[in-house]
Amino acid sequence: MTVNNMADPRRPNKIFRYKPPNTETNPTLEDPTPDYMNLLGMVFSMCGLMLKLKWCAWIAVYCSFISFANSRSSEDTKQMMSSFMLSISAVVMSYLQNPQPMSPPW
């Protein structure tokens, strides 16, 4: 009878399923960047639309891109798409109302 010197450490009967860590109890584990950027993006696009500021609208587009890049894969795509569309519409509306190019602040 062959003796297996290196006993197989695997135990199929001792399998535990994966439980995603509960982020409510550990808020420090979560990265807040996508949520902040989402909020900022919405604020800037509202500013751009209401106050007709082109640079606000452009910053909103950047914010929504950054939020998308940092987002978790479990996150709702609808939220991402809505903020993205809002910022694009802010840019388009600003240019339709005032086709002049943006002037640099300096």
Using CB under 8 A, list all residues that contact other proteins. 9-20, 25-26, 28, 58, 61-62, 65-66, 69-74, 99-104
Do residues 2 and 47 lie in contact, with contact meaning Cβ atoms separated by under 8 Å? no
Instruction: Considering the complex, state which of residue 2 and residue 22 has its C-beta at the smaller distance from other proteins.
Output: 22
Instruction: Considering the complex, state which of residue 11 and residue 78 has its C-beta at the smaller distance from other proteins.
Output: 11
Question: Residue by residue, what is the 3-state secondary structure of 64-83?
Answer: HHHHHHHCCCCCCHHHHHHH
For residue 78, the minimal CB distance to other proteins (Å) is: 19
Neighbours of 90 (CB within 10 A): 28
For residue 24, the minimal CB distance to other proteins (Å) is: 11
What residues contact 43, with CB distance under 8 A and at least 6 apart? 60
For residue 34, the minimal CB distance to other proteins (Å) is: 9
For residue 53, the minimal CB distance to other proteins (Å) is: 13
Both tokens of 39, joined, read 């909020």
Both tokens of 61, joined, read 């587009």
Instruction: Considering the complex, state which of residue 2 and residue 13 has its C-beta at the smaller distance from other proteins.
Output: 13
